[in-house]
Amino acid sequence: MARRIGSCIGTIGRLGRSQSEAPRESADKLKGMAVTLKDIARAAGVNASTASRCLSGFRGVNEGTRQKVLQVAAEMQYRPNRVARGLVTGRSHTIALLISDIRNPFFADVARGAEDVAHAAGYDLILCNSDFDADKQTKYLRSLSEKRVDGILMNSVVSLRRAQLAQLAELKIPIILLNKPAIRTAFSIVSADNYDGGKLAGAHLATLGHRAIAHITGPKQHGNLTERLRGFLAALKAAHVPAPLVLHGQNSFSGGYELAQIVFDEYPEITAIFAGNDAMAFGVGRAAAERNLVIPRDVSLIGFDDVDLAQVVSPPLTTIHAPKYEIGQLAVEMLLKEVKRGTGRPPEQRTLGVELKVRKSCGPPRRARLLTAV
């Protein structure tokens, strides 16, 4: 009898060890393999729905059970399947930033601000570059919709009109625009105060005494650039300065370079240039150097955006500071609100302030400088 009792006790002991070591054995067997939620549930001795609630932080779960599931998940190096979770929740926890020119340093700061907020909220950010191609922009929008991103931040290649806005609405995805469309829209917008920035640039050149001024900018139908032009014209008119020469092209380094060549070769009377953005201003600097023109002795130059390179070039660029990082931050904050609450809310239009950064690229016009010297 004593021998049988001892045998039973030994059997019970082995069973106890077998049950307590089951999660660890399961964890050891599954290491190096793709661990699923069902694997976690089986190893922890609970059903899949309980394991899911424990891992997702839902209330109503026994704390001891939650800690056991979390410990097993850690031992088995469990990584949630976002795709599978997205099919259940309807969210991918992924947003996209669609920009027009990845070479423009302006978008680097916008992307950094956007990514910082997205990361803190548990979202991944996809960066897409349309490269000034409207068709490529459309293809990206379709692709992002098929990938079920939760929302899109968009800097459109051109100013969106009624037909394009209708196409965006058909996607049924929260979208925040980073430049103003040609007409009123149901989409929220985040941008710098482009009109005020144009006014600051015009007033600065007028104060310096310039009267033969050129403005080189991007496409005619571009919300942000159009607003800058409007503000610039208003400031010159208020200062009784003749209307400037306005040339349209691509709002990039190469676009600025090509338009500056036209100004220097065909309009030698021009004493100052306001570039639509800093990238275009850098292109002006290259064209000037090739003609042995010295900035600001021969021509004054002012940009827009205040990218980091504006302080490094020679001479340092006078420009309009736009809050690039803050635009990215605010745009994602607004987008995530729409993701959580739905797109039925009235659109917001948030305009962030700008300021003039006076450096070394602007001075009095050539004629005034000569008269002063005499």
pLDDT at 217 > cutoff 70: yes
User: Which of 297, 225, 230 lies closest to 259 in space, CA to CA?
Assistant: 225
Compare 81 and 44 and report the one with higher pLDDT.
Answer: 44
pLDDT at 5 > cutoff 50: no
Q: What is the predicted pLDDT for the residue at 53?
A: 81
pTM of the model: 0.77
Can you name the CATH fold of 2-80?
Answer: 434 Repressor (Amino-terminal Domain) (1.10.260)
How far, in Å, CA of 47 to CA of 52, rounded? 9
CATH superfamily of 194-317+359-373: Response regulator (3.40.50.2300)
Which CATH number applies to 91-191+324-351: 3.40.50.720, 3.30.830.10, 3.40.50.2300, 3.40.50.12500?
3.40.50.2300
2-80 and 194-317+359-373 share one fold: no
256 exposure class (CB count in 10 Å sphere: 0-12, 13-18, 19+): buried
The string of pLDDT tens digits covering residues 109-136 is: 999 999 999 999 999 999 999 988 888 9
How far, in Å, CA of 319 to CA of 105, rounded? 14
Q: What is the predicted pLDDT for the residue at 331?
A: 96
The string of pLDDT tens digits covering residues 146-164 is: 888 999 999 986 666 677 7
Residue range 215-226: mean pLDDT, rounded: 88
CA distances for 217 relative to 203, 303, 325, angstroms = 18, 10, 23
Q: What is the predicted pLDDT for the residue at 341?
A: 81
Residue range 5-10: mean pLDDT, rounded: 42
Q: How many CA atoms lie within 13 A of 340 on its CB side?
A: 8
Residues 202, 304 contacting (CB under 8 angstroms): no
* Longest CA span, the chain: 126
Q: What is the predicted pLDDT for the residue at 37?
A: 80
- Consecutive H or E run containing 99: strand 94-99
The confidence band for 91, taking pLDDT boundaries of 50, 70 and 90, is low
Give the domain ranges of the chain.
2-80, 91-191+324-351, 194-317+359-373
Compare 157 and 93 and report the one with higher pLDDT.
Answer: 93
The confidence band for 333, taking pLDDT boundaries of 50, 70 and 90, is very high
